[in-house]
Amino acid sequence: MSDLLIENGRLVDPSQGIDRIARLLILDGRVAAIDPSDDEIPSHCHSIDASGRIVAPGLVDLGVELREPGFEEDETIESTSDAALAGGFTSILCTASTTPVVDSPGAVEFVRQKAAKANGVRVYVIGCLSREQAGDQMAELRLLADAGAVAVSDAPRPMCNDALLKRSLDYCRMLKLLIIDRPEVPELAENGVMHDGQVSLVLGLKGLPTEAEDLAVARDVRLAEATEGRLHVGPVSTMGAVDMIRRVKSREIKVTSSVCPHNLCLDDKQLTSFDSRFKVHPPLRSPRHVQTLKEAVADGTIDAIQSGHMPRSREKKMNDLNLAPFGAATLETTLSTVATFMVNENFIDWPTAIERLSTAPARIASVPGGTLAVGSPGDVVIIDPEATWKVNAYHFRSHCISNPLDGSELRARVTHTIVGGTVRFQLAPDANLLAN
């Protein structure tokens, strides 16, 4: 553990309503004081000058695919951790989409041990909702929770069994365990490649209709209302989903939702290039959906922004668009995407951006973080809001080099990521040159 004093930065902490120039003191890996007196600062304390930068709680991601074990050619736990740190994330929730899947205490422990060995980002495990993600029988949810799982989900697969989801919501209410569902009706989305609309019709590509997501969200929120269970729906991508979530929230039903950053800035016209880096899930929708999602993030209907990190190897993504898998490496561009297309376009301000990327995800998942309150973990991100850089996926720390914003110029960049008072990532002075 390191003792750190971060000086002269713009401290942004939505959990405490703080947005001002302040000093932040971290001792023994935890936040010790905001604006400490000189007498409170140990003589051996390391100092970081954050002049002109934003100092905020480390980012928290609600759903990352680690791919290890089983798909190490796509990503490993160590490379995911490195990518997350470069993107300003200090905590991530990892999905159960591995081989074998995370449906046993042993599988949970494997991920936790590998993550501890990587000694980087904090990794919280999402266990399977159903055994082997088959959707037939409930997994041993209590054993998964006892082993350390913070949530359960079959993501990236949707939960198609209505009765099983209802029973699980009832059971998890007693366990105080979060259920996450990626909403989709598989029968409607089968073999789809992109958003079902005018562009897909012109290109002759099978579409993913909005109804596939809308119907699943409608079922999810209705079951959450009936059971009073803890349910997170996401990531979402349609106007219909936003409308239903807004309606149930107006009735004070405790459903939360999230969206991916690329769904806030890119639309289905990108697929006219037939470039598989734009083949993501949920798909890039039409401009009307993009606008609705932006407004929903701004007004709080959508609670959180998650990276949508679904890494796939270069060889897999080099296939024809119909055959290439969905997926992209997005941990390293999430913050800058939000800054460029949400903050700089005045949809939201920086405190709201940090709330959607850090405070809200930590609250939803009930994990430490998302705050710089005294006594909280010393997990901090330092951001240069005025920096500009050009995305070059070949320089990613992720094994995956497919990113829908590759080649784009983005605003704002993470300069330091601090986990437990220790600087785990620091941007090299020549990094902007490397990015180009």
DSSP-derived secondary structure for 369-435: -S---TTSB--EEEEEEEEEEE--GGG-SSS----TTTT-EEEEEEEEEEETTEEEEE--TTHHHHH
Distances (CA, A) of 356 to 283, 303, 350, 383: 21, 6, 10, 16
Separation of first and last alpha carbons in the chain: 35
DSSP-derived secondary structure for 90-109: EEEEE-S-SSS-S-SHHHHH
Question: Which pLDDT value is given to residue 435?
Answer: 43
Question: Which pLDDT value is given to residue 82?
Answer: 97
Question: Which pLDDT value is given to residue 86?
Answer: 97
Give the predicted TM-score (pTM) of the model: 0.95
* Strand runs labelled E in 190-302: 194-195, 207-208, 231-233, 255-259
Q: CATH 3.20.20.140 in the chain, residues?
A: 58-365
The listed CATH number (2.30.40.10, 1.10.3720.10, 3.40.50.300, 3.40.50.2300) that belongs to domain 4-55+377-387+408-435? 2.30.40.10
Of 7, 15, 51, 27, nearest to 422 by C-alpha is 27
Question: Which pLDDT value is given to residue 1?
Answer: 55
Fold for domain 58-365?
A: TIM Barrel (3.20.20)
Any idea which residue has 């290890």 for tokens? 68
Question: Which pLDDT value is given to residue 430?
Answer: 56
DSSP-derived secondary structure for 309-322: -B---HHHHTS-TT
Question: Taking the CB of residue 51, how many other CB atoms lie within 10 A of it?
Answer: 9
DSSP-derived secondary structure for 50-66: -TTSEEEEPEEEEEE--
Question: Which pLDDT value is given to residue 147?
Answer: 96
- Parts of the chain with a pLDDT under 70: 1, 430-436
Mean pLDDT taken over the chain? 95
Q: What is the pLDDT of residues 243-295, one digit of tens each?
A: 999 999 999 888 999 999 999 999 999 999 999 999 999 999 999 999 999 99
Question: Which pLDDT value is given to residue 224?
Answer: 95
CB 181 within 8 A of CB 158: yes
Q: CATH 2.30.40.10 in the chain, residues?
A: 4-55+377-387+408-435
